[in-house]
Chains A and B, each alone.
Chain A
Amino acid sequence: MEYSNPEIPEGINTSKTNPLKELVILTVGVIGAIFAIVSLLIFVVDNFADQIPFEVEQNLPMSSFTEMQGVEPLPPYLAKISQKVINSFNLPEQMHITVHYVNDDVVNAFATLGGHIVLYRGLLEKLKYEDELSMIIAHEVSHIKHRHPILNASHGAVIGLALSFLGASSGNSVVNDLLGTTSMVTLMKYSRENEHLADKDAIDSLVKIYGSAEGAIGLFDVLNSEYSDRGEVEFFNTHPLNKNRTAEAREAINHSRIINSVVRAPIPSEFSRWLKANKIEAKETKKVRID
């Protein structure tokens, strides 16, 4: 009997594929698929979450605001303007909106589950005119009117679940990061569309109340001085860039041929003084807490 070890040709147990080509195909394919899946989930969830009655949303445990830090009773001026803005929307009867004031330096305002709108002192301080304040409130009311808070919460839950399934299958943390980023960018695109919608509604409301949409441009200027567009890419943002929002507001104004020569009511000095006193008060309580 003879024993020998002949040479076996290469390449039987390995595939001859170009790794770079495979990388491109897989990456493009997976990103495209995730984009499609997330868009589809958003679409499906939107149709379901829309059916959730507003009362149910209001009774959700996370819709309670009494425990949030710094929530203070709404000053009469804010209550008055809020009412004015809310009245300009034709909200369904059961949709009840509650505006809150928070004594904090954050330059922000947001709408959340249960019809709550939160205004921070930091943002209010920067305003000069009443219509700018109305613009903020109107923007947030529009979010609630279109049920954006509940829709966003539902998207987060459903897409998070889907991603965790996919993540378990890939078993690679880098690939999971890629999946997360792709779905985030898709959600951001959706979020920017919502912001456009809210801006549009808010401008309509301003026109209804003041006969002018100057407040929108004023507000975007304020935001721009606080959060500059410089170095920002709209693709990676939940909100459209300020310059685009301003441009859109300008276009809306031109389109509806509004006369801009309306006299704008400034924020009452009494209210500004009250905000200032609040700021000092907040500083002092902070100091006490640190001591």
Chain B
Amino acid sequence: MADLIILVTLLALGYGFGRYSESTHYASIRKREKTLNAIPAIASRIPPQGNPNFDSQLVSGSVVISVDYFKRFIAGLRNLVGGRMTSYETLLDRARREAILRMKEEADRLGASMVFNLKLETASIHKGRRNKIGSVEVLAYGTALTPN
């Protein structure tokens, strides 16, 4: 009985805090995406030819975020049943956008006008054997082009 109460409490805490942090994170992502919209990130390998000439430099941004207790619980159940794991969708979406933003912020500091050949790497971080699921790391990197 005590176990059940602890479980429900943890689920409620996870749900409450998880939702709160997710919505604040999304709000911040949207705000920064608007301001950094001036620096396009392009996944193409061929930089623009001709004038003006550019200085190029590698820029990167990475982030590790974790899923809350509530979502982890749902994911565990979903793993038995199969199907779309909604728990991890927002996690990955947030992680990628955050990593790209951090990369763009670095490009912004360099005064770059765009980032070329953007690439993304995702890794899942395993914490011990019993709690396999948890956090992902996303790394975004590309070449910042600064007009000179």
Q: Do A and B interact directly, with beta carbons closer than 8 Å? A: yes
- Residues on B with C-beta less than 8 A from A3 are 40, 42, 48, 114
* A3-B42, A15-B86, A19-B70 as given contacts; A175 in contact with B15, CB under 8 Å: no
Q: List the one stretch of A20-28, A79-87, A266-274 in contact with chain B.
A: A20-28
- Residues on A with C-beta less than 8 A from B114 are 3
Give Cα A17 to B69, complex, Å: 18
Query: Does B93 have its Cβ within 8 Å of any Cβ on chain A?
Result: yes
Query: Does B133 have its Cβ within 8 Å of any Cβ on chain A?
Result: yes
**Cβ contact of A7, chosen from B37, B38, B81, B130, cutoff 8 A:** B37
Give Cα A68 to B113, complex, Å: 82
Query: Does B119 have its Cβ within 8 Å of any Cβ on chain A?
Result: no
Give Cα A172 to B77, complex, Å: 9
Query: Does B57 have its Cβ within 8 Å of any Cβ on chain A?
Result: no
Q: A225-239 interface mask toward B, CB cutoff 8 Å, 1 = contact, 0 = none?
A: 000000001001000
Give Cα A3 to B73, complex, Å: 43
Q: B65-79 interface mask toward A, CB cutoff 8 Å, 1 = contact, 0 = none?
A: 000011111111111
**A33, chain B: closest CB distance, angstroms:** 8
Q: Are B130 and A173 in contact (CB under 8 A)?
A: yes
Query: Does A171 have its Cβ within 8 Å of any Cβ on chain B?
Result: yes
- Residues on A with C-beta less than 8 A from B133 are 171-172
For window 5-33 of A, CB contacts with B under 8 Å fall at: 5, 7, 13-15, 17, 19-20, 22-23, 26-27, 29-30
**Cβ contact of B86, chosen from A17, A170, A178, cutoff 8 A:** A17
- Residues on A with C-beta less than 8 A from B80 are 30, 166, 169-170, 175
Query: Does B89 have its Cβ within 8 Å of any Cβ on chain A?
Result: yes
Q: Are B40 and A236 in contact (CB under 8 A)?
A: no
Give Cα A209 to B74, complex, Å: 58
For window 133-178 of A, CB contacts with B under 8 Å fall at: 166, 169-178
**A159, chain B: closest CB distance, angstroms:** 16
**Cβ contact of B76, chosen from A7, A19, A172, A233, cutoff 8 A:** A172
Which residue of A7, A27, A175 has the most chain B CB atoms within 10 A of its CB atom?
A: A175
Q: Are B1 and A236 in contact (CB under 8 A)?
A: yes
Interface residue SS majority, chain A: helix
Q: Are B89 and A14 in contact (CB under 8 A)?
A: yes
Q: Looking across the interface, which residue of chain B has its beta carbon closest to that of A29?
A: B81
Interface size class of A (residues with CB under 8 A): 20 to 34
Q: Are A169 and B79 in contact (CB under 8 A)?
A: yes
* A7-B37, A174-B76 as given contacts; A30 in contact with B130, CB under 8 Å: no
Give Cα A148 to B126, complex, Å: 43
**A147, chain B: closest CB distance, angstroms:** 33
Q: Are A14 and B93 in contact (CB under 8 A)?
A: yes
Query: Does A94 have its Cβ within 8 Å of any Cβ on chain B?
Result: no
- Residues on B with C-beta less than 8 A from A30 are 77, 80-81
**Cβ contact of A1, chosen from B48, B77, B79, B131, cutoff 8 A:** B48
**A241, chain B: closest CB distance, angstroms:** 16
Q: Looking across the interface, which residue of chain B has its beta carbon closest to that of A17?
A: B86
Query: Does B90 have its Cβ within 8 Å of any Cβ on chain A?
Result: yes
Query: Does A261 have its Cβ within 8 Å of any Cβ on chain B?
Result: no
For window 167-216 of A, CB contacts with B under 8 Å fall at: 169-178, 181
Query: Does A69 have its Cβ within 8 Å of any Cβ on chain B?
Result: no
Q: Are B76 and A175 in contact (CB under 8 A)?
A: yes
Give Cα A236 to B133, complex, Å: 31
Q: Looking across the interface, which residue of chain A has its beta carbon closest to that of B126?
A: A171
Q: Are A14 and B7 in contact (CB under 8 A)?
A: no
8 A-B pairs (CB sep. < 8 Å): A5-B38, A26-B77, A169-B80, A172-B76, A172-B131, A174-B76, A175-B80, A177-B3
Give 3 nearest A-B pairs by CB, closest first: A172-B76, A175-B76, A5-B40
* Sample of 7 more A-B contacts, CB < 8 Å, known A3-B48, A170-B80, A172-B76: A19-B86, A20-B15, A30-B80, A172-B72, A172-B133, A178-B7, A233-B1
